[in-house]
Amino acid sequence: MLCVNANMEVLDVVTSKYPICRRYGGNPILTGKDFPADADIKSVFNSGIVKYNDIYLMVCRVENSALLDRFWIAESTDGYHFEPRLEPVDMPHDDPEFMEYAGSMYYDPRLTKIGDTYYIVHAAHSSHTCRLSLVKTEDFKKFQWMGFISETDNRNGVLFPEKINGLYVRLDRPNTGADTGDIWVSYSPDLIFWGKSECVFKNWQGIRWAWTKIGPGATPIKTPGGWLTIFHGVRSQCKAHFVYQLGVCLLDLDDPSKVKAMSESAILIPEEQYELVGQTPSVVFTCGAVAEDDGEIKIYYGGADTVQCVAITSVERLIDACYNR
């Protein structure tokens, strides 16, 4: 079959389209039991990740039995075996505005390195529903809150790793109804003031399996052929419950509002017990991926809003999935 590689060369190779992602055999890689017992952590999922000084540094979303969500860093040298630090992240609890609005609940951290700074865009529950909030750190010890960066009813946001045409760029998902929403792109000169917003694609545009809503997932990965962007898509099943899956698309390098290609099928579907059964059944949800130097991509994802998992794929395989519809 014909296959497109990362340099956008068309190759005639024998390749199997499925599976696009391979689950790590040791999934789940983190559960609540891996954290100190007195922290009462029941779930760990939807964690963000970067490689920091050759260490895989995961900012985990952890939840206790009072449903209080916190961030807790876990570290790994191989990307599969993670050791949680002794304490949760010391978020900017000295900032009264952050505490007033977000202190009760913040979750789904998405990490992006820009220059020497690591930024975390995350959802924060405020008295005005959910907003995107921005935190930065240079050493993963001290964290500074930069402010809210969206209006209400927006919980999925991720920054691109570099400026495009002189501006910072983000993808997000402003809700357009009770349970609908599309992926948008916005631009900013300073990461605080955002504008030039455009819809990138809608939940129905070519995505048969995500008729309810979609949202950005992992930090977009730069390839010669475009920004490789892993997102989540949701469908309501028999009006009874939502099914969360992952998809992939390729956005134009200079104008990420343009979709160059998109996989027809989901690339990861809830199938395993740890994805089908948990706090929220039938959920695979990503906030981060690591692109290795050899082209391998590790997609870190939450299973059923309960446990943290990882699946392995590659740049070539994902680009191939985008083009071979």
Q: Which member of 72, 145, 184, 244 binds ligand BMA (CB under 6 A)?
A: 244
Residue that has been written with the tokens 């985990």 in this structure: 60
Asked if 151 contacts 131 with a C-beta cutoff of 8 angstroms, the reply is yes
Mark the segment that binds ligand BMA (CB under 6 A) among 7-15, 159-167, 279-287, 313-321: 279-287
User: CA-CA distances (angstroms) from residue 193 to 16, 147, 161, 162, 185?
Assistant: 45, 10, 17, 17, 13
Considering the complex, state which of residue 307 and residue 322 has its C-beta at the smaller distance from ligand BMA: 307
* Least distance to ligand BMA, CB of residue 2, Å: 36
- Judged on CB neighbours under 10 Å (0-12, 13-18, 19+), 25 is exposed
**Please, which of residues 106-125 interact with ligand BMA by CB under 6 A?**
107-108
Residue 172 engages ligand BMA in binding (rule: CB under 6 A): no
b/e per residue 241-260 (b: at least 16 CB within 10 A): eebbbbbbbbbeeeebbebb
The amino acid that residue 92 corresponds to is P
Return the structure tokens found at 246: 């992952």
Enumerate residues 6+ apart whose C-beta is below 8 A from 195. Answer: 186, 187, 188
Stretch of 188-196, 201-209, 277-285, 315-323 contacting ligand BMA, by CB under 6 A: 277-285
* Cis previous bond, 36, omega within 30: no
Span of 80-88, 174-182, 185-193, 278-286 interacting with ligand BMA by CB under 6 A = 278-286
Residue nearest ligand BMA by beta-carbon distance: 280
**Which CB atom, from 155 or from 170, has the smaller least distance to ligand BMA?**
155
Q: Bridge partners of 241?
A: 237
Choosing from 31, 176, 265, 280, the residue that interacts with ligand BMA (CB under 6 A) is: 280
Question: What number of CA atoms fall less than 13 Å from residue 228's CA on the CB side?
Answer: 28
Tokens of 224: 């010669």
> Is the CB of 171 or the CB of 261 nearer to ligand BMA?
171
Contacting ligand BMA within 141-170 (CB under 6 A)? 155
Q: Are strands 221-223 and 2-4 parallel, antiparallel or unpaired?
A: unpaired
How far apart CA 216 and CA 69 sit, in angstroms, is 21
Binder to ligand BMA among 46, 154, 175, 306 (CB under 6 A)? 46
Q: Which is nearer to ligand BMA, 272 or 296 (CB)?
A: 272
Q: Tell me how far, at minimum, the Cβ of 66 lies from ligand BMA, in Å.
A: 17
Environment class of 141 (CB within 10 Å of its CB; exposed 0-12, middle 13-18, buried 19+): exposed
User: What's the closest the beta carbon of residue 20 comes to ligand BMA, in angstroms?
Assistant: 21
Exposed / middle / buried, residue 13 (Cβ in 10 Å: 0-12, 13-18, 19+): exposed
Stretch that binds ligand BMA, among 145-153, 185-193, 200-208, 280-288 (CB under 6 A): 280-288
Size of the site for ligand BMA (CB under 6 A): 10
**Residue 140 lies near ligand BMA (rule: CB under 6 A):** no
300-319 mask for ligand BMA (x: CB under 6 A)? --x--x--------------
According to CB under 6 A, which one of 118, 285, 300, 301 is a site residue for ligand BMA?
285
- For the bound state, the minimum distance from the C-beta of residue 281 to ligand BMA, rounded and expressed in Å, comes to 9
Residue numbers of the site for ligand BMA (CB under 6 A)? 46, 107-108, 155, 244, 280, 283, 285, 302, 305
